[in-house]
Amino acid sequence: MEYYIDKSTYLSIKEKLYDKEVELYVEKYIPNFEMKLPLRDIFSKPSKVDFKNKYTLNIPEYLHEINSMRRIIYSSLIQCCSHDRYSRDLYEIRESNNYRPKETEFYGTIKFIERERYMKVVLYDLFSYREKISLLIHSITNQKLFNGKIENVTFKRIEDKIDKLNVENCNHLSIENVELLKNIIVKLNSDEDVKFVCELRHAYMHRSNPGIDCLATRIHTFDRISSESAERLSILNNRPASEYENYVNIGKKNIEVEKTFEEVIFSILKVWRNYQFAIKEIVDNIEIVGINVEQSSYVEGTFDFG
């Protein structure tokens, strides 16, 4: 919380939020592909290396990276949605009861600060997660898509070269595997929800806050008076025309989108589901990846995706 709150009220709020989190877990509300991976041994070395496919040795490392970031995003989504549900409860209490418990004083903080804080974590990490998927695909293809320094591998570079992937230059994969990877790369960028969420992220990071259940940032806009208008004002007011050859404030305008939380979380969860399904497809269908996963479970999510 951004300002003082007594301990009993704080614990009461945390208890209610915990209940909302449990609801979301029980409902299996949020898509999730959980992997159980072998323990990471940072000092291990392979006993045998096939130098034709040497870069596929990095697949386990990127699986660990992906699984670790999945936990962060999934937990943040749970927190974001639980704060939203609790804020709705507080709103109903405020509107329907004469008596307002202490917790209702923090309705705005929970809805517009705490909920948005977790949503921002998700927005920032979603595309980092996609970059990690591209690194995994880079390793699966044995660097056939981008044969350069690993630090220079990006989703965009993989996307630009994905059409060149085939079984001739990547003969350790089947035709089905190659087509699967191509389809995944296209899906991870062409979806309209991906574009919307990406634009939302750019707004938060580089411009100003969009309006989520509230007004977006509004700025003053200006225009220059035409010489004809300046002349008319000069004659009307018997003043020099130079006094009117200037900019005038023509009002404020929104520079960001204004959306309801339902619209935003709908797109975020659809993008997250696509990412989770992509990893599931890779693990289930590409053997050199699947052998590194001891156990996995997939939850499609019960959010109403339409």
pLDDT on residue 188:
87
Q: Are residues 234 and 246 in the same domain?
A: yes
Q: Residues 198-245: pLDDT tens digits?
A: 888 888 887 777 878 777 777 776 666 666 776 777 777 777 766 666
Q: With cut-offs at 50, 70 and 90, classify the pLDDT of residue 179.
A: very high
256 CB neighbour count, 10 Å cutoff: 19
- Confidence (pLDDT) at 15: 95
Q: Which domain holds residue 160?
A: 13-216+260-299
Does 161 lie in the same domain as 23? yes
Task: Classify residue 6: in a domain, yes or no.
Answer: no
pLDDT band at 1 (very low <50, low <70, confident <90, very high): very low
pLDDT 10s digits, 92-151: 888 887 767 888 888 888 998 899 999 999 999 999 999 999 999 988 887 766 666 777
Tokens of 300: 């499609």
**136: Cα separation from own chain's centroid:** 19
- State residue 148 phi and psi, 5-degree precision: -145, -170
Structural tokens at position 286: 């590409």
**Residues 168, 284 within the same domain:** yes
In a domain, 4, yes or no: no
Q: Does the residue 210 lie in any domain? A: yes
In a domain, 1, yes or no: no
Does residue 49 form part of some domain?
A: yes
Q: Domain tally for the chain?
A: 2
Q: Residue 306's pLDDT is what?
A: 54
Are both 190 and 277 inside the same structural domain?
yes
**Residue 88's pLDDT band (cuts 50, 70, 90):** very high
Say yes or no: 226 and 171 in one domain: no
In a domain, 3, yes or no: no
**Statement to judge: residues 206 and 232 lie in one domain:** no
pTM here is 0.84
Residues 29 and 145 in one domain: yes
User: Do 231 and 126 have their domain in common?
Assistant: no
Q: Are residues 212 and 222 in the same domain?
A: no
Same domain flag for 181 and 245: no
Residue 273 and residue 137 in one domain = yes
Helices (H), the chain: 7-27, 59-96, 107-109, 115-140, 155-161, 175-190, 192-206, 227-237, 261-285, 287-290
SS3 of 223, please?
strand
Q: Residue 142's pLDDT is what?
A: 75
Q: Does residue 86 sit in the same domain as residue 167? A: yes
Q: Is the pLDDT of residue 289 over 90?
A: yes
Q: Would you say residue 2 has pLDDT above 60?
A: no
